[in-house]
Amino acid sequence: MKASILLSAALAVLLVQPTAVVAQSSVPADLRRAMDQRVAAVAQADAATWDRLTADNFVLVLPDGTTRTKAVRLAQLRTQQPSAPAPVTNETIQMLGNTAVQRYQAGNTWVLAVWSKERGGWRVTLAQASPVSDDSATLRRVIDANLARFADAFKRGDAAGLATLYADDAVELNPGLPPREGVEAIQRGFTSFFNGVTATDAKFTTHDIVIGGNTAIERGTYALRLRPKGATGNDIVDTGKYLTVWERQPDGLWKIIRGISNSDRPPS
């Protein structure tokens, strides 16, 4: 109850006084230090520091609407691997007496944190995480550029270049073959494919994109002209359709995490 009241009050002030943001130099030194330490603690999986700077009644609201208590987050931190902290950008801080509302961007996530001064120190009582979403026009340009790179690498028979467009844990599903799981298996699959044929032309066309936070589902069609190596005769012409799931990675790049395609040609 206390956390929801604090969040409601904080948001009300932000809406009524959108320009009343405290200058960084006016933020209490102990609060600034606590904010920096807590961001570092999350990245470094420093459960002890995070525990000290988090209120017992803490609640985290995730992008899907589910919540996590302090106990659950502590358990997650204790099993988490340390990583480099994402740079904090676009930060604003609103002071409300012994309460502060901090909003910032860390990588691909917006974070809203409500701090309260209690027992002589600053602690977070409530936090909310939301994905930083590209608008549809921006994402379409990104996918168009990635498809151009894909088509160029495909026509050059560059399996390694194609693999750079896939996430490490990507899965590729192709007709008549078992799933290729992981970017290394996907690269080996392309290498085997190009050992048998040369792509004389390749075109990939996006028809629509469904966007959900840091994930986008692309539906499209392809048109390929393939020339078997060491064989004579006509090229193989194939057309078909595909679904590709793109996901924004921690470094901001969009990569393929799932892909499936099938031909329009009738079964032989």
85 and 161 both lie in a single domain:
no
Residue 121 is part of a domain; what is its CATH number? 3.10.450.50
User: What's the domain count of the chain?
Assistant: 2
Entry pTM: 0.61
Q: Looking at the structure, do residues 20 and 91 belong to the same domain, yes or no?
A: yes
pLDDT at residue 116 greater than cutoff 50: yes
Highest mean pLDDT (candidates 23-37, 88-102, 179-193): 179-193
List all residues 6 or more positions away from 119 whose beta carbon is below 8 Å from its beta carbon.
none
pLDDT value of residue 163: 97
pLDDT 10s digits, 205-237: 999 999 887 899 999 999 999 999 987 778 999
Structural domain for 115, as ranges: 2-131
Answer yes or no: is 268 within a domain.
no
Q: Which of 72, 98, 131 is the last residue of a domain?
A: 131
59 found inside a domain:
yes
Section 196-200 average pLDDT:
94
In terms of domains, do 89 and 177 share one? no
Q: Indicate whether 59 and 159 sit together in one domain.
A: no
Q: Give the C-alpha separation, 216 to 219, whole Å.
A: 10
* Boundary (domain end) residue, out of 131, 161, 177: 131
Residue 175 sits in the same domain as residue 110: no
On whether both 99 and 145 belong to a single domain, the answer is no
Average pLDDT, the chain: 88
100, 131, 162 - which closes a domain: 131
Is residue 23 predicted with pLDDT exceeding 80? no
- pLDDT score of 232: 75
**pLDDT over threshold 80, residue 68:** yes
Task: Determine contact, residues 139/211, Cβ cutoff 8 Å.
Answer: yes
CA distances from 123 to 18, 34, 51, 201, 243 (A): 24, 8, 9, 60, 45
Q: What is the pLDDT of residue 10?
A: 42
What is the maximum alpha-carbon separation in the chain?
A: 83
pLDDT band with cut points at 50, 70 and 90 for residue 138: confident
Statement to judge: residues 77 and 164 lie in one domain: no
